[in-house]
Every structure is written in structure tokens, then in C-alpha cells.
Structure 1
Amino acid sequence: MPHITPLALGGCLSALAALAHLACVAIGGPAYRWMGAGEGLARAAEAGRWQPTAITLCIAAVLAVWALYAWAGAGWWTPRSPWPGMKLALPLISAIYLVRGVAFPWLKPHFPDNSNLFWLVSSAICLLIGGLHAWGTVSRWSEL
């Protein structure tokens, strides 16, 4: 089994977040509600509108790519050629997670259907994942 590092763990959490988003697409409205994404999104999914699925699949795809970058940076997964822009991507991914974690007071008014619990839990998760990505990136910087 590969050595578990902060960056590898951050990648695992990014992958879990991607899977959680895919579960919303598979389950539909009840999953959107349970995850706190808002009644509007849940109803749109139940009505068969394409927007919730498209938005959620895009988010899941981004999170999956971020997981792969983290695993590659941690040495868990090495494709035949080096990952493009690894030294730019990993700090940027870390920063996006960390900014999302602290920016919820400014984001919340733009998404009024999302519950307070959603904002608190998702922001804490983003801070955790961003912190792991940042810690892991710094610790592996010379090997990237």
C-alpha cells in the first residue's frame, strides 16, 4: 500500500467529494436536499431539468481531476508522461479550496436556497481538504 501523505489524503477526500456529487445525480432530489443544495435545485432535478445534472457533473469532474493531481503529486499515480503544470495546479487547487472555505459569507447571499448547515459543513470540508492539499504540496514541492 502506498504511503499516506497529506496530499494523498487530500486527494482521497477530493475523490469522495466527487462521488458525493455523483450520488446526487444518481439519487436525484432527495440527495440534493440531504446535501443541503437547496429546494430549488432538488425540485429542478425531480422535474427532470438538465441544469442540476450538468452543474453537478461538472463539479464532480473537476473534483476528480483535482484528486488525480493530488495522487500524482503524492506519487500514488504516475501516468506515462508528467502531469502538465503540476507546480501551478497543486497550489491553485489548494488556494481554491481554502478560498471557498472562508468565502461562504460572501457566497451565501447568491445561493439563498442552500441551508446554513450546508454552508458550515461544506466550508469546513473545503478548509480541511485545502489544508491537506497545501500541506502536502509544500512537503512534496522539491519532488514535483
Structure 2
Amino acid sequence: MSGEPDRTLMAAGALSALAVLLHLGCIVFGAPWYRALGAGEWMAQASIAGHWYPTVATLVIASVLTVWSLYAFSAAGVLRRLPLLRTVMFLVTAVYLLRGVAAVPMMSVFPGRSVSFWLWSSGICLGIGVVHLIGLLQVWKRLGRSP
């Protein structure tokens, strides 16, 4: 954690943290949030029925996003250096970017969501991926050095 923290990666970490909060909101507020965030009617109905799947699936996603947020903050230089930082940040950036451009193939794999959901969520993921990429490019050499 030497030098000035990277603001772009701080923003990347904050964006992932915001996504965590939105996912947790689905668990707390139930079906209306699942619907509003485009999880599909099946998830909304399962939530209403008290089925375990929406909560568990959403917690898994929120957990992954939490780890991604922590790694972005670590790469930014505001948290201690986490293991495999450069590799994990490369993979997180790649996943966000791929998710951002893969709307059409994903529509067939995950049916039941609207075209609007796929366009919005893909655009958001692409935007977050671009923020990660810009930040990662700014700190790439620093992340390659041993602490």
C-alpha cells in the first residue's frame, strides 16, 4: 500500500460493492426486488413461496461480488495486498467484460428474463468491466512486484 490509491480501482470496488447491496436487497425485500432487478418471474415466485433457492443463489452471487470488491480495493492500494492479486484482478476484469458482451448467448442459457434485462445488465457489466480494465492497466506493473 505505497503511494496514492488508484481512484479508478476504488470506483471499481465501489461498483462491485453496490452490486452486493442490490443483491442483498433482493433477499431482504423479496419478489418486488427480484422482479425489478430482472431475476425473472420464477425467482420472484420462488421467493414468495419461501423456497431456499433464491436466497442461496443470491448469497452466492453477493459473496463472489464481495470478494471482487475487496480485490479491487486491494489493487487500488487501500487494503492490504491480497493473494494472487494480479491474476484475480485480470480474471475479474475478464468476467465483467465477457458478461458485458455475452448477452445474446446468455439469453438462450438463462431464459425467462426480458430483452431489456439483458441489455441493461450487460451494459452495466460492460461498464464495470471497462472501469476495472482502465484501473488495472494503470497499476499492472505495480501489481506484478512482490510486496
Say whether the fold is shared (TM-score over 0.5). Answer: yes
Q: Is the 8 A contact 1:108 1:119 kept in 2?
A: yes
Larger mean Cα displacement after TM superposition, 30-39 or 110-119? 110-119
In structure 2, the residue matched to 1:107 is: 106
SS in 1 for 2:141: helix
* Corresponding residue to 1:68 among 46, 67, 70: 70
Matched-pair contact (CA < 8 Å) for 1:37–1:115: no
CA distance in 1, matches of 2:79, 2:131: 18
User: Where does structure 1 lack aligned partners over 5 or more consecutive residues?
Assistant: none
> Following the alignment from structure 1 to structure 2, what is the Cα–Cα distance between the partners of residues 83 and 125?
26
- 1:95-139 alpha-carbon deviations (Å, 9 max, x no partner): 000000101100011222112121111101100111111111110
1:117 and 1:68 mapped to 2: Cα distance? 30
Residue 56 of structure 2 aligns with which residue?
Answer: 54
Distance between the aligned counterparts of 2:109 and 2:40, measured in 1?
A: 12
Once the two structures are overlaid, the 10-residue window that deviates more, 103-112 or 58-67, is 103-112
Shift of 1:4: 5.8
Q: With structure 1 as the length reference, what TM-score do the two structures score? A: 0.93
**Is residue 6–residue 77 contact of structure 2 (8 Å, CA) maintained in 1?**
no
1:129 equivalent in structure 2 = 128
Map 1:1-144 to 2 at 5 A: 5-78=7-80, 82-144=81-143
Q: Runs of 5+ in structure 2 lacking a partner?
A: none
Maintained 8 Å contact 1:98/1:131:
yes
Q: Secondary structure at the match of 1:77?
A: coil
Preserved CA contact (<8 Å) 2:40 2:113:
yes
Over the aligned positions, Cα root-mean-square deviation in angstroms equals 1.2
- Consecutive aligned runs of 4 or more in structure 1 exceeding 2 Å deviation: none
Q: Alignment partner of 2:34: what SS?
A: helix
Give the aligned residue type for 1:118.
F
**Percent identity at matched positions?**
46
Q: TM-score, normalised by structure 2?
A: 0.91
- Counterpart amino acid of residue 45 in structure 1: S
